[in-house]
Amino acid sequence: MSTLPPPARIGDAIADVDTPALLLDLDAFEHNLDTMVRVTAGSGMRLRPHAKSHKCPPIALAQMQRGAVGVCSQKVSEAEALVDGGVRNVLVTNEVVGAPKLARLARLAKRAEVSVLADHPDAVTALSHAAQAEGSTIAVLVEVDVGAGRCGVAPGEPAAALARHIAAQPGLTFGGIHAYQGGAQHMRTPAEREAAIAKAVAMVKDSIAAMEQSGLKVPIVTGAGTGTFLLEAGSGVYGELQPGSYVFMDADYARNGDPAGDSVGLFRQSLHILATVMSRPSASRAVVDVGLKAHSVDSGMPRIDEPAGAEYLRASDEHGLVSVPDGMEMPLGSKLKLVPGHCDPTVNLYDWLVCHRHGRVESIWPIAGRGAFY
């Protein structure tokens, strides 16, 4: 509910930022944005970064200033928050069901270029009704299940049949194929990721062939994440990449094997959680003020980057238990920098991103899409 005031002021030293706080190292952040542009330049790929990771219009605009054609969002309300913040091109990479959401999506399509996924003819028909009711046009992409086992139609003729249905509906245009292998992003070895994306590419090719046999042109194939985007970029079939986490990175991506050998190793950790030591129950234990309400544990406990050697053992609602190595000083009030296990749901817990450079707070950005899950 109540948006809390930011935990810092411009110019503050990091040590003076109130906690828990979400810190963004601007040098590392800009390195990540620039690196993504550099390594995809010349591939012919369009970049459409996923904004579900950051939910933050200033970041979306920074991505677009570097050439991204737009961003992805995962929910209609998240797209609204981005458009409110100045973004003019959003692909909602999800199925949208239910009259209130469809009406909002159709209205949003009058303020921005809006596209969305579908994997069922009934959902397409409902999208068409909503677009017609609002007098807007929505591009609809066929979501193909390329191995993630979540949403999506089967590749080949089932995908083509849905594409034909989209193309036939008033108020809609056929936007292409969405083929995201979410399950491949955190496979631990490059070989596993290569095999998964090779299978996905084959399924995309089958789907393109079936669509072209129907006389449909496929405007774009879009997909890919931080763990695999170089593979999709080199596939010859994808035309647009959707990485999101590369902006921040997290402890789980760092566990991908051989990170230096592939896309994950290109990026620096720009996101940290600042925590304060509030109790020292023993020489080997500290308790910090960052618990389950300040980071998501779905991908494990946070890693502690500063001070190196301390370990985050377990979380309760508002406590984090930390193991302190022999001889390490860590008085009450000490501040620790944690790397969250999973950046996306962690960022969603915060209202503000405290952006710093050379040890000082340079800007404070609103996480405008926090909690925007409608």
Q: How far is the CB of 43 from its own copies (least distance, A)?
A: 27
Q: By C-beta, is 75 or 239 nearer to its own copies?
A: 75
**Pick from 29, 229, 248, 352: which binds its own copies (CB under 8 A)?**
352
Amino acid in the structure at residue 212 = E
Measured torsion, CA atoms of residues 157, 163, 168, 174, in degrees rounded to the nearest 10: -160
Identify each DSSP E strand in 48-97 by its residue range: 71-73, 89-95
**Pick from 108, 349, 355, 364: which binds its own copies (CB under 8 A)?**
349
**Pick from 36, 68, 81, 203: which binds its own copies (CB under 8 A)?**
81
Q: By C-beta, is 45 or 159 nearer to its own copies?
A: 159
Q: How far is the CB of 98 from its own copies (least distance, A)?
A: 6
Q: Tokens at residue 234, please?
A: 């080199």
Identify whether the C-beta of residue 270 lies closer than 8 Å to the C-beta of residue 32.
yes
**Under rule CB under 8 A, which residues in 271-330 are in contact with its own copies?**
276-281, 287, 289, 292-294, 296-298, 315-319, 321
Interface segment toward its own copies; rule CB under 8 A; list 95-103, 192-200, 210-218, 234-242? 95-103
Q: Is 198 in the site for its own copies (CB under 8 A)?
A: no
| Total of chain residues touching its own copies, rule CB under 8 A | 71
Q: Is 2 in the site for its own copies (CB under 8 A)?
A: yes
Amino acid in the structure at residue 54 = H
- Residue 320 pairs in a beta bridge with 288, 315
Name residue, tokens 């944690």.
338
Q: By C-beta, is 176 or 320 nearer to its own copies?
A: 320
What span, in angstroms and rounded, lies between the C-alpha atoms of 160 and 105? Answer: 24
Q: Is 162 in the site for its own copies (CB under 8 A)?
A: no
* Cβ-Cβ contacts under 8 Å for 322 (sequence gap 6 or more): 277, 285, 286, 287, 288, 304, 310, 311, 312, 313, 330, 336
Identify whether the C-beta of residue 116 lies closer than 8 Å to the C-beta of residue 141.
yes
**Pick from 11, 100, 170, 327: which binds its own copies (CB under 8 A)?**
100
What span, in angstroms and rounded, lies between the C-alpha atoms of 183 and 104? Answer: 30
Binding pattern for the stretch 51-80 against its own copies, x by CB under 8 A and - elsewhere:
-x---------------------xx-x---
Name residue, tokens 């969405």.
178
**Pick from 138, 233, 364, 372: which binds its own copies (CB under 8 A)?**
372
Binding pattern for the stretch 114-153 against its own copies, x by CB under 8 A and - elsewhere:
-----xx-xx---------------------x---xxxxx
Crossing angle for the helix pair 99-108 and 76-84, to the nearest 10 degrees = 30
Q: Is 260 helix (H, G, I), strand (E, B) or coil?
A: helix
**Under rule CB under 8 A, which residues in 8-27 are in contact with its own copies?**
18-20
| Beta pairing class for 360-366 and 352-357 | antiparallel
Q: How far is the CB of 292 from its own copies (least distance, A)?
A: 4
Q: By C-beta, is 4 or 191 nearer to its own copies?
A: 4
